[in-house]
Amino acid sequence: MQIDRLFQIVYILLNREKVTAKELSETFSVSTRTIYRDVETLSLAGIPIYTNKGKGGGISLLDNFKINKSVLSNEEQNNILVGLEVLKATEYEDVNGAILKLKNLFNKNNDNWIEVDFSNWGSSKEDKVKFEALKYSLVSCKTIKFDYYNSSGDKTSRDVNPIKLVFKHKSWYLKGFCLLKNSYRTFKVHRMKKVIVTENTFDRENYNLKEEKSSYEESRSLINLKAVLNPKVKYRIYDELDEKCITKNSDGSYTIDIIMPENEWLYNYIISFGENIKVIKPTYINDIIKNKLEKILKSYK
């Protein structure tokens, strides 16, 4: 189609200072006369394209031309590139090519002000393979199988219809419908092992994540946790908690007041602070922590 060829001609010229009509005619398998007609069409459309005849001549665009100047603002261009950089961080296939093309179109080849990397230090090739499998299953609506380790280290085998991949609070999560539990579940990707994409397909239209959210809110047990922490661990306090729930006390200690789900993860999280934390409420949490620590000490005897 002519419109496709016209766009490709402009893209080629954005990547090269000059090209001859003969080169373009060979690229698109058309006559040089057709190429010159295309040049005229682009010129009439407002594209600053011109030709120089003779030795060393060719077809060129005016310097610093941006094809989308009348379509996208500078802020919109940057937003698109940021979105693609985020997509790149998920190991999405071929996104580098899209970024390169748009940077050329937007004339932003020297914009190296953002790099997004969600991977952990020392992440392995296994992580990349896992994300490739998740991406394929999400796009093709195929059921996946995997082993899952919960916060207590217990392993279960799951068959899940994946619905959405979510990045939240420094971690990736997969939202989907678990066929084992026959309900919506959210899985921490890091705890998913041996991910396999099956040949079984599902209809995404049959699932509603709003139901998943309400089901999750009803099933979890929320508590108002209040605790005092030693200033020795202040680096963790501001890294891991919202500053709105943190109060600095006159003696240098910190009080946190936050709503959190009560589960094994919370108990282990409190224990990870060692002697640098004291739970104020609910008080029964101290008894749970004490019993867990006693079991740990017995295991070392």
pLDDT for 100 = 62
10-residue mean pLDDT profile of the chain (301 residues): values are: 71 81 89 88 79 82 58 59 57 57 58 52 64 84 92 84 81 88 87 92 83 49 90 87 89 92 86 93 93 85 67
- Residues 240 and 242: their CA atoms lie apart, in Å, by 7
pLDDT for 105 = 57
Estimate the share of the chain in helix, then strand, then coil, as percent rounded to the nearest 5. Answer: 45, 25, 30
Residue 90 DSSP SS3: coil
User: Is residue 203 located within the same domain as residue 277?
Assistant: no
Domain-embedded: residue 118: no
Query: Could you give the number of structural domains in the chain?
Result: 4
User: Is residue 131 located within the same domain as residue 214?
Assistant: yes
pLDDT for 150 = 78
pLDDT for 216 = 47
User: Is residue 186 located within the same domain as residue 262?
Assistant: no
User: Is residue 208 located within the same domain as residue 144?
Assistant: yes
∠ CA 68-73-75, nearest 5°, is 130
Q: Are 181 and 225 in contact (CB under 8 A)?
A: no
Domain-embedded: residue 53: yes
CATH number, domain with residue 137 = 2.30.30
Q: Give 216's contacts (C-beta < 8 A, 6+ positions apart).
A: 184, 186
pLDDT for 94 = 55
User: Is residue 45 located within the same domain as residue 82?
Assistant: no
- Residues 147 and 153: their CA atoms lie apart, in Å, by 11
Task: State the DSSP code for 215.
Answer: H
pLDDT for 113 = 47
User: Is residue 210 located within the same domain as residue 263?
Assistant: no
User: Is residue 84 located within the same domain as residue 56?
Assistant: no
Q: Are 203 and 142 in contact (CB under 8 A)?
A: no
CATH number, domain with residue 10 = 1.10.10.10
The domain of 57 spans: 2-61
Looking at 190, 219, 248, the residue that finishes a domain is 219
Q: Are 9 and 29 in contact (CB under 8 A)?
A: no
User: Is residue 53 located within the same domain as residue 82?
Assistant: no
CATH number, domain with residue 227 = 3.30.70
Residue 244 DSSP SS3: helix
Residues 68, 70, 74, 78, CA torsion sign: negative
